[in-house]
Structure 1
Amino acid sequence: MLQSRLFMNLKGIGISFVPRYFFQINLSKIFNEILKYNTKELEEIQVRVRYYNKINQFFTPTEKEKIGKFPFKKTSYAFDAYEISKYFKDKFLWNKDFNDVKWTFKDPTICKSRPLENNKNNILLKLDKNRHFCFLKDDLIFENKKDIAVFRGAVYQTHRKEFFHSYFNKTFCNIGDTSKEASQYRKNFLSKKEQMGYKFIISLEGNDVASNLKWAMSSNSLVLAPKMTCETWFMEGALKPNYHFALIDNENLAQVIDHFRTYPKEAQEIIHNAHKYIKQFLDKKKEFHIGILVLAKYFYYSKQLDLNELGYEREILELIK
């Protein structure tokens, strides 16, 4: 993880020295590439752009921060945002918040996460993707895995402490706190590969979303998760309980595990649905194009991007309105 983050930082800093003009002159070309998708793909892109950016009225950015300003803090967020924003004019303004967001903004703001309810002004970009968008190949089939549930992570938040209070040291699960602080719930670190040796992987929200949800859903294990309250680019709000993951709480974990031990085919159906859901995020080029359209919509409705000037007003507007 440390090496990958270092590589990301070096790559991001290197790109920041390339004049943005050389990226901006390609925006029309990118729009043209987008319009080459077939009708079904364009419909799917349109749905996702509208999901991430729900703005449909003109507004004025309040922070007055130019997107051409390159920040050197929250680097993983900044570099991911820069990969998209560098294609738009330096003078464009935006409101952004590169924190773990669980609240609703008063004005349209670019961010990584948002609450599931009343989130119109929280406009999602694919940020901190090096950590969150990690999909893994699992060579171990469900039947051959350990017959209990697993979780490893830092236990700072109240909801995680309450969960651990209910289930720590129970025989049907192996859960442990891996934070650096002294903890009654401390257990040894387990790698992602080691956790994939269990039939059931527990996914608990942290400061916003659960950081292990994506890779856990890409495994051949069944994801167990409480009702979700936040979402990111992964569209956690579109996930269906007991269809994409098994719904648990602070009282029913033993019963849920026992049920899927008894009916393993039901577990495998949910795992299959999770894998199918993940496929929409695997096309890197399409992910980039959707990000471009999300920001294009932001700058269009903030009256900064003139689509007519680029010659794509009708076609691109149809995708982002």
Structure 2
Amino acid sequence: LQSADKPMLLTFDDIIRLRKRLENGLLRTGLLIYLDNIYNHYLSMPANERHSIVVRIGDNAEVYPEETTYLAKSRVIGDHNVILQRWNVYRHWHDFAVVRFLDIPWRRKSRRIIWRGVSTGDGERARFAEKYARHPNSGIDVGITNFVQHEKLNKEIMKPHCSVRKQLRYRYIICIEGNDVATALKWVLASNSVCFMKQPKCESWLRESRLRPGVHYVELNNDFSNLEKQYTWALAHEQECLQIVKNANEYMKQFRNPKHQERLSKKVFQDYVRKRHEQIQVSQ
């Protein structure tokens, strides 16, 4: 798995062998989550139907020139060669599942706007932090919490980690895509706070492409140049913000039942495996 972030052909037996290699410390452990997801999806099928798949493991959402349809956790919006799966569930859906226990009412939240995150992605997060971490508007609270990529950046844009519980004390929360989607987006949309973000480039099981600016979130320019303007607008338009929160919460209701979502993901997986096998049989 030297190029696990690119589409690759795998069989059920490959998955079994790779899981054993991971358990023996021969591969990086981050892959085990995805291999376990794929293994469990395979187990939902009869043994004689566990045919080969093409899959991309990890967060690297790129458009590849190959025409092969493959499975992945995320995709560039509009790349219909990718079939989305609900994988790496704890990382991407745990905070969504518990946000209702951590959140507080709108009226008790600070009127400030916050973003915290690590420097993943193509440098966009770092550029955003460079622009706003030292902004003179005291209502804007922005900072990088850790340099996991782009380590040579200005350390002055760093700020302490801020837990989900603490971020929920703010009325306005910014979401920025990293290597693919913005992981925080799910819990932010399910909260009593307003999401601020650009129109997304990538989508996951959440189907970010279905979110509408001005309906589910406050839209930011691609270069984030209108952040202060949009923040000022939000401060002056509380009722409109509350409606956006209501719309976002309504959108997230469809994901509340994790068992149902898991069944859907397995059904998509099964349909893909069978369809791919049928196409191979026809071509032969």
TM-score by structure 1 length?
0.71
The residue correspondences of 1:230-309 to structure 2 (distance < 5 A) are: 230-249=202-221, 250-303=224-277
CA distance in 2, matches of 1:103, 1:139: 34
CA distance in 1, matches of 2:39, 2:197: 32
Q: Which residue of 2 aligns with 1:176?
A: 143
CA contact (8 A) 1:154 1:178 kept: yes
1:85 to 33, 38, 42: 42
CA contact (8 A) 2:114 2:142 kept: yes
Partner amino acid, structure 2, of 1:75: L
Distance 1:64 1:77, change over 3 A: closer
1:202 to 161, 167, 174: 174
CA distance in 2, matches of 1:213, 1:84: 25
Q: Name the SS for the 2:277 alignment partner.
A: coil
Among the aligned pairs, what percent are the same residue?
A: 25
Deviation at 1:161, TM superposition (A): 2.1
CA contact (8 A) 2:74 2:84 kept: yes
RMSD of aligned residue pairs (Cα, Å): 2.0
Partner amino acid, structure 1, of 2:267: L
Distance 1:92 1:86, change over 3 A: same
TM-score by structure 2 length?
0.80
Q: Which residue of 2 aligns with 1:26?
A: none
2:117 to 153, 172, 186: 153
CA distance in 1, matches of 2:215, 2:60: 27
CA distance in 1, matches of 2:192, 2:62: 33
CA contact (8 A) 2:75 2:202 kept: yes
Aligned length: 243
Q: Which residue of 1 aligns with 2:127?
A: 162
Q: After the TM superposition, which parts of structure 1 deviate over 6 Å for at least 4 consecutive aligned residues?
A: none
Unaligned runs of 5+ in 2: 1-6, 23-28, 280-284
CA contact (8 A) 1:149 1:172 kept: yes
CA distance in 2, matches of 1:191, 1:282: 22
Q: Name the SS for the 1:184 alignment partner.
A: helix
CA contact (8 A) 2:103 2:165 kept: no
CA distance in 2, matches of 1:113, 1:153: 19
Deviation at 1:269, TM superposition (A): 0.6
CA distance in 2, matches of 1:139, 1:208: 26
Partner amino acid, structure 2, of 1:195: Q
CA distance in 2, matches of 1:111, 1:80: 11
> Are residues 1:115 and 2:76 paired?
yes
Q: Name the SS for the 2:172 alignment partner.
A: strand
CA distance in 2, matches of 1:274, 1:131: 20
CA contact (8 A) 2:86 2:262 kept: no
Indicate the larger mover: 172-181 or 243-252: 172-181
Q: Name the SS for the 1:302 alignment partner.
A: helix
CA contact (8 A) 1:101 1:112 kept: no
CA distance in 2, matches of 1:139, 1:116: 30
CA distance in 1, matches of 2:12, 2:214: 41
Deviation at 1:288, TM superposition (A): 2.1
Deviation at 1:64, TM superposition (A): 4.7
CA distance in 1, matches of 2:206, 2:36: 19
CA distance in 2, matches of 1:81, 1:240: 31
Deviation at 1:81, TM superposition (A): 2.6
CA distance in 1, matches of 2:84, 2:202: 12
